[in-house]
Amino acid sequence: MATHALDQDLENLAASARAELVREIDASGAWSADPVWREAFEAVPRHLFVPYYYIGVRGGYERRWCGDPDPEHREQWLRGAYTDTPLATRVRDGELLSSSSQPSLMAEMLTELGVEDGNAVLEIGAGTGYNAALLAHRLGDDRVTTIDLDPEITESARQHLAAAGYHPAVVTGDGARGVPERGPFDRVIATCSLSSIPGAWLAQCGPGARILTPFATGLIALRVRDAGHAEGRFLRTPAFFVPLRGGTRTEPEPRDLGGLPQRARGDDRFRFLLALTRGSLDPYEAYTLWEREGQPGRERYGITVDGDRSWAWLDDPEGPYAWPLP
């Protein structure tokens, strides 16, 4: 899809809206540990990556797009492109297939990724291409690879990137298999939720590499020791992403929790434990554990991958509370 050219008034609005978004992310502290990312968000025009998106309305979604003949609607589209919210970019039969993540969450994830000059980064889930553009701005086109299973998504991401002046490697394929011909990688970042950690990612990473991925409504940061071992803890930040295409959803399956106290059923930290231990811990056992251990939040949990085995744990990978992962 060709990117719609903006008139000068909208170009000026885009610049001011982008500056306001950067100030908002700055105030959130999302990149306090690595303020170099501020420059990338200042430079990369998000509106070029979302020429259209959908907003939820009663009964479904309403489309906003850059080519709307109504000037007020085009201005709404542009302002919406620079709000600190996720934007639905692909919807099919009422189901969300792809989205552009909330910018402040993207900033936090990029900061937590801990990139250094010269790092090679693999992104799982090309989306609109916006995240790959931020990485390419920081590291250079040749150090960034992004992959997605859907050829329509990779083609539109490639066009958006080119319109913004970036040309990282955009690959169509199964993200769970990685991109071995572009490895080894120093960092892997996923923008889709997983139900297991693919062994191919570890095999394509060098020692000391870092993997950051959504998992069970959280974000797990793993340090790779070698091709067979990685370990790390969850960030305290909640994160809800579209599942990796072809994988399984990681939210808790609907279950009867009516016998549990309402404060637990509505508590995001307890819902995270249910998602993390799905299939291996009864919800009533989970509640007993959660209360006994002081209602732990995400940051007290972690994941270990060791050869063919992988497990989630509370506080200590060798401690008494561990649950096998698929």
Catalytic residue numbers read 98
Quick one: tokens of 67?
């080519």
Contact criterion met (CB below 8 Å) for 123 and 191? yes
For 229, counting Cβ atoms within 10 Å of its Cβ (0-12 exposed, 13-18 middle, 19+ buried), the class is: middle
Contact criterion met (CB below 8 Å) for 206 and 186? yes
Quick one: tokens of 295?
């209602």
Q: Which of 232, 216, 199 shows the shortest CA–CA distance to 279? A: 216
What count of other Cβ atoms lies within 10 Å of the Cβ of residue 278?
22
Half-sphere exposure of 127 (CA within 13 A, CB side): 32
- 3-state SS, residue 102: coil
Q: Which residues contact 272 (CB under 8 A, 6 or more apart)?
A: 216, 217, 218, 238, 297, 298, 301
The vertex-137 CA angle with 132 and 138, nearest 5°, equals 100
